[in-house]
Chain A
Amino acid sequence: MTQATRTVDARGLSCPGPITELVKAYRNSKMGDIIEVLATDEGFKQDVQAWIRKTGNELIELKEENGEIRALIRIVKR
């Protein structure tokens, strides 16, 4: 299993909170970092994919379980 460099806990935040928290972590990240984002806002699933397309980073995993979304992102674009 891929080990996250850092975890962003955005559970309980409504849109656009989770994507904002991800961007904050992204700004402090280094190439090759793995960011894990936990969110409960339903929109985050689509939002994170849009962000991946826009920035060109890599979505390693996107799962939803019991209303909780977990995204694992590898930073390959700065």
Chain B
Amino acid sequence: MGENKKIGMVVFSGTEDKMIPVGVISQGAAAMGYDVMIFFTGWAMFRLLKKPMEPTWPKEFEQMVPALMDGMKRIKAPSWLDMLKQAKEMGAKIYVCSMMSQAAGLRKEDFDSSLVDDVVGVAAFLEMAEGGQVLFI
């Protein structure tokens, strides 16, 4: 596909509503042939553990959650995790922030190795993402 462009993502929030666009953009960008690199930090990092944190939703939208879930089921939308896996199959890379994982007492082996490619520092991520667009979600 010639010279590839890059899409970098810093995934911080980890609430279910924000994980959905992480999945959609990752899969879409990987399909479009972008180099995709995703840096999980903050609360989002806990969604990639071998024993992941339960899904949470932001309080202000809680009452809309059942309707959204029904809608997603109706259109048979895949879960964000499935979309992330699809993105990975097409070459997307997933990294976890070394500083945040250390602060939480987590090591590389605590993360699901089918998802996480490596635990890296922010400098390493920024260098990989240099020249591309970086989204903060």
Chain A interface residues (CB < 8 Å from chain B): 12-17, 19-20, 22-23, 47, 50-51, 54-56, 77
Evaluate whether A23 and B75 lie within 8 angstroms (CB atoms) in the complex, with A15-B24, A55-B1, A77-B1 already known.
no
* Contact yes or no, A16 B24, CB < 8 A: yes
User: Chain A residues with Cβ under 8 A from B32's Cβ?
Assistant: 19, 23, 50-51, 54
* Contact yes or no, B31 A23, CB < 8 A: yes
Q: Which residue of B has the minimal Cβ distance to A40?
A: B75
| A/B interface sample: 23 pairs, CB < 8 A | A12-B76, A13-B76, A14-B75, A14-B77, A15-B28, A16-B24, A16-B28, A16-B83, A17-B78, A19-B31, A19-B32, A20-B28, A20-B31, A20-B86, A23-B32, A23-B33, A47-B28, A50-B32, A51-B31, A51-B32, A54-B1, A54-B32, A54-B33
B32, B77, B86: residue with the most chain A Cβ atoms closer than 10 Å: B32
Q: How many positions in chain B have a CB within 8 Å of any CB in the partner chain?
A: 15
User: Chain A residues with Cβ under 8 A from B78's Cβ?
Assistant: 17
* Contact yes or no, A16 B31, CB < 8 A: yes
A56 to B24, CA, bound (A): 23
Q: Which residue of A has the minimal Cβ distance to B75?
A: A14
User: Chain B residues with Cβ under 8 A from A55's Cβ?
Assistant: 1, 33
Instruction: Confirm or deny: B134 has a beta carbon within 8 angstroms of a beta carbon on chain A.
Output: no
Q: Which 10 A-B pairs have the closest CB atoms?
A: A16-B28, A23-B31, A20-B31, A14-B75, A19-B31, A14-B77, A16-B27, A55-B1, A54-B32, A16-B31
Q: Which residue of B has the minimal Cβ distance to A78?
A: B1
Instruction: Confirm or deny: B49 has a beta carbon within 8 angstroms of a beta carbon on chain A.
Output: no
